[in-house]
Amino acid sequence: MSSRILAIETSCDETAVAVVERGRRIVADVVASQVALHAPTGGIVPEVAARAHLRWMIPVLEEARSLAGIEAWSSLAGVAVTHGPGLAGSLLVGITMARTLAWVHGLPLVPVNHLEGHIYAAWLLDADEPDRPEPPFPLVALVVSGGHTFIVEMRGHLEYRLLGQTVDDAAGEAFDKVGRLLGLPYPGGPAIMRAAASATRHDRRFPRAWLRGTDDLSFSGLKTAARRAVLTELEGRHGTTGEPDGARLAPETVAELAWGFQDSVVDVLATKTLRAAERCGARSIVIGGGVAANAVLRERIGEGARSLGVPLIVPRPALCTDNAAMIGAAAWHRWRAGARAGGDLDARPSLKLAV
Ligand code: KG4
Ligand code: ZN
């Protein structure tokens, strides 16, 4: 019986198609990134993103199909697609493609939540990677992306219990906003990580919102703190008004501020995730989403996991940011559980993972 799923992901600003076997082995993984397209505006313009998906959908599909050597569509177990959460127009392009493929080729259509995709990226194996055990349950997963930040407990496949979430901005959103304040290029996450790595002084301290007694997180205060710090640097006083122009900062100052900001975000994310894992008796910790590509975050949670004696499973950076292989991994479990969508599958921009 066929065990390959073709998966499509277009929820935000990457047009992606992958073929994944048994929810683990990547057979093909193609991602067309729109980063360069959105850089001049310093953020995603939804209409621009949707039009770019329209332009790239078929070339990306064809490349993935050819890389996977798919001659007959009947060799697939199904077609999976992200149906939310995300930008309505962007989601619609992938959903329409998937619905059409499933209908034309008589294949099951499997809807996948983008956020569970980020978790299931931890199950993926590269084409040439030796086999390794699956993350054991119960596990605690931290999802940190541009639009979402939350911690869930999983006691089995597709079982999510929400432990905590951001009460305001997502961690990636904070990286992007503070990146802009520091005059760094879009997206802010990788730029801040690079700038922070070049800092020679490590004494800038940004606030931490601990929200004690909960697994919830908060990052909106960091933007205000960063704005104040930039104004103070530029004007030599405790300025609180006006928009600072980070491009006027000295590179060393940018590096120090980037380090202080990243240190705060990483400290809170790592501490909260590790505490939740300990409390739940987790047998593994999984992290996913764009911010999980951050080397300092990976390192910090890795150290903590070692002292708890549990494995940390974190996908390589390109599988942390948006891709379709992660959708193919989650889809395998949905497919086995009998999840099927009809030709009326629609975009769910605010779809939740767990409540
Ligand atoms: O998961 P993702 O690709 O898209 C969403 O579903 O949102 O996450 C994108 C986010 C952006 O905010 C980006 O700045 C952040 O992930 N990001 C990083 C790094 N690489 C990407 N943040 C911190 N450090 C990184 N190395
Ligand atoms: Zn994402």
pLDDT digits (tens, 9 = 90+) for 14-54: 999 999 999 999 999 999 998 889 888 888 899 999 999 99
Helices 188-197 and 295-308: crossing angle, nearest 10°? 80
In this structure, what token pair is assigned to residue 226? Answer: 């960063």
Judge if 118 and 57 occupy the same domain: yes
User: Would you say residue 240 has pLDDT above 70?
Assistant: no
288 Cα nearest atom in ligand 1: 1
- Is residue 189 within 6 Å of ligand 1 at its C-beta? yes
Whether residue 344 is contained in a domain is answered as: no
Judge if 91 and 53 occupy the same domain: yes
Judge if 16 and 30 occupy the same domain: yes
Q: How confident is the model at residue 257 (pLDDT cuts 50, 70, 90)?
A: very high
pLDDT digits (tens, 9 = 90+) for 139-148: 999 999 999 9
249-255: which pairs have CB atoms within 8 A and are 24 or more residues apart?
A: 249/182, 249/183, 251/195, 251/198, 252/199, 252/200, 252/201, 254/182, 254/183, 254/184, 254/195, 255/195, 255/196, 255/198, 255/199, 255/200
Judge if 187 and 299 occupy the same domain: yes
Judge if 163 and 86 occupy the same domain: no
179 Cα nearest atom in ligand 1: 14
Predicted model pTM:
0.96
Q: How confident is the model at residue 107 (pLDDT cuts 50, 70, 90)?
A: very high
- Is residue 175 within 6 Å of ligand 1 at its C-beta? yes
Contacts of 282 by beta carbon, 8 Å cutoff, 6+ apart: 138, 139, 140, 153, 276, 310
Judge if 145 and 179 occupy the same domain: yes
| Span from the CA of 62 to the centroid of ligand 1 (angstroms) | 27
- Mean pLDDT for 307-313 is 98
Mean pLDDT of the chain: 96
Give the residue numbers spanning the domain of 255: 139-315
Judge if 70 and 162 occupy the same domain: no
User: Would you say residue 244 has pLDDT above 90?
Assistant: no
Judge if 297 and 329 occupy the same domain: no
User: Would you say residue 239 has pLDDT above 60?
Assistant: no
Judge if 79 and 176 occupy the same domain: no
User: Would you say residue 238 has pLDDT above 70?
Assistant: no
Whether residue 355 is contained in a domain is answered as: no
137: exposed, middle or buried (C-beta count within 10 Å: 0-12, 13-18, 19+)? middle
| Span from the CA of 86 to the centroid of ligand 2 (angstroms) | 9
Residue nearest to atom 3 of ligand 1 (CA): 321
Whether residue 308 is contained in a domain is answered as: yes
- Distance between CA 146 and CA 161 in Å, rounded? 21
146 Cα nearest atom in ligand 1: 7
Whether residue 347 is contained in a domain is answered as: no
321 Cα nearest atom in ligand 1: 3
> Best substitution site from 175, 294, 320, 322 to test ligand 1's pocket, by max atoms within 8 Å of Cβ?
175
| The pLDDT value given to residue 46 | 94
User: Would you say residue 241 has pLDDT above 70?
Assistant: no
> Which one of the ligands is nearest to 196 CA?
1
| Span from the CA of 35 to the centroid of ligand 1 (angstroms) | 11
Judge if 153 and 266 occupy the same domain: yes
| Span from the CA of 169 to the centroid of ligand 1 (angstroms) | 13
Q: How confident is the model at residue 243 (pLDDT cuts 50, 70, 90)?
A: confident
> Best substitution site from 291, 319, 350 to test ligand 1's pocket, by max atoms within 8 Å of Cβ?
291
| Span from the CA of 39 to the centroid of ligand 2 (angstroms) | 18
Whether residue 348 is contained in a domain is answered as: no
| Span from the CA of 114 to the centroid of ligand 2 (angstroms) | 6
What's the number of domains the chain is made of? 2
Judge if 287 and 151 occupy the same domain: yes
pLDDT digits (tens, 9 = 90+) for 169-219: 999 999 999 999 999 999 999 999 999 999 999 999 999 999 999 999 999
Whether residue 167 is contained in a domain is answered as: yes
State the sign of the Cα–Cα–Cα–Cα dihedral 266, 268, 269, 271.
Answer: positive
Whether residue 28 is contained in a domain is answered as: yes
Whether residue 182 is contained in a domain is answered as: yes
| The pLDDT value given to residue 312 | 98
Per-residue b or e along 232-268, where b marks 16 or more CB atoms closer than 10 Å to that residue's CB: ebbeeeebeeeebebeebeeebbbbbbbbbbbbbbbb
Judge if 165 and 277 occupy the same domain: yes
Cβ–Cβ under 8 Å, residues 211 and 218: yes
CATH number, position 38 = 3.30.420.40
